[in-house]
Amino acid sequence: MIISRTPHRISFFGGGTDYPEYFLEHGGKVLGAAIDKYCYLSLRKLPPYFEHKHRLVYSKMENVNTIDEIVHPAVRETLRYLNIDYGVSVHHDGDIPARSGMGSSSAFTVGILNSLHALNGKMVSREELTREAICVEQELIRESVGSQDQVFAAHGGFNVVEFLQNGEIFVEPIIMTSERLKAFGSRLMLFFTGLSRTASDIASDKIKNIPNNSQSLSRMKNLVDEAYKIIISPKRNLSEFGELMNETWELKKNLSDKISNPKIEEMHETAMQNGAIGGKLCGAGGGGFMLLYVEPDNQQKVKDVLKDYLHVPFGFDFDGSKIIVYKPS
């Protein structure tokens, strides 16, 4: 039995510049963090005396005899990619629902890659996990996804990630004192909008609009450096970070008319009128989770006015995808 634990992520700045359609021409950069909400996968080799060769249990159950019959795209393409010729049983359990803007699809892909490598007796690097997950999602499944989710799922941490025009990816951990990191984290609030959406649908629209949005994307990329300077400079007020979140949210809405809607706008405006300094949706948009920057004295007020939305406390994860049970026999 192999059990892996892979973190979800929150995105602060630069989302949209991590699509290869953009960064291979202009270069991209994001600032984000892995959080302590996880995708758990348990895998084992399935003995040959069952009527089926593979069993998958997620929001559905699949009992199949060939890889081609598998409906779940990440499982199917990962088994093909790694040339798995034995039967497997895969069980998924997650802290965050799918289609919620927290990188759940990439956490699953990174997790199953890590688990299958472990089942084969191989330990792989974070860089290799990132590269393989991007290949599976972008080249094999052919989903319209960016490249930051796979990085945070594999690496964990609070990072600036740079995407070079030659395709290379550099991960730079943000170095700050534990006191400042604690102060920063204590000012972040996460609320579930109750709206789910398929990220690739919105992403496809954003990718189609990239030629018309180069100015917005360039500014969004520049905000990464501005936010980074605030975070690492002890004399800068952290509230400046929250103010930049509002700016990137306004820019993000220019990328597609599917990113926001009246319910989301009302939620954001209500939070701002009751003490939030900044806020934005995580992920592609259209629903999922709203991330807010709120000073501690105003947090109860924000919770009260957003009482119809689920508040999800969280912390940061610095481990990345991890094998937490290893009993391959």
Structure tokens at 247: 């700016």
For the chain, the structural domain boundaries read: 2-174+317-326, 178-311
Q: How many CB atoms lie within 10 A of CB 120?
A: 13
**pLDDT tens-digit map of 196-214:** 766 566 767 777 878 888 8
- In this structure, the dihedral spanned by the alpha carbons of residues 300, 227, 147 and 188, taken in order and rounded to 10 degrees, is -10
Q: What is the CA angle 34-12-246, rounded to 5? A: 155
Closest CA to 211 of 14, 17, 22, 19: 22
**pLDDT value, residue 60:** 94
**pLDDT value, residue 100:** 81
For the domain 2-174+317-326, what is the CATH code?
A: 3.30.230.10
Phi and psi at residue 9, to the nearest 5°: -140, 160
**pLDDT value, residue 283:** 78
Give the DSSP H/E element, type plus range, for residue 228.
helix 214-232
* Cα 225 to Cα 236: distance, rounded to the nearest angstrom: 14
Q: Which stretches of the chain drop beneath a pLDDT of 50? A: none
pTM equals 0.94
**pLDDT tens-digit map of 123-182:** 999 999 999 999 999 999 999 899 999 999 999 999 999 999 999 999 999 999 999 999
E strand map for 74-127: 88-94
**pLDDT value, residue 197:** 60
**pLDDT value, residue 308:** 95
**pLDDT value, residue 7:** 98
**pLDDT value, residue 201:** 64
Through-space distance between the first and last CA atoms of the chain, rounded to whole angstroms: 7
How many CA atoms, within 13 angstroms, populate the side-chain half-sphere of residue 266?
Answer: 8
**pLDDT value, residue 198:** 61
**pLDDT value, residue 327:** 93
* Cα 7 to Cα 154: distance, rounded to the nearest angstrom: 8
**pLDDT value, residue 205:** 73
> Is 132 in contact with 147 (CB distance < 8 Å)?
no
Q: Which amino acid, 280?
A: K
What is the overall mean pLDDT for the chain? 93
* Cα 93 to Cα 39: distance, rounded to the nearest angstrom: 6
* Cα 143 to Cα 134: distance, rounded to the nearest angstrom: 10
CATH of region 178-311, choose from 3.40.1390.10, 3.40.50.740, 3.30.70.890, 3.40.30.10: 3.30.70.890
C-alpha R_g of the chain: 20
Please report the sign of the dihedral spanned by the C-alpha atoms of residue 203, residue 208, residue 209, residue 215. positive
* Cα 255 to Cα 213: distance, rounded to the nearest angstrom: 6
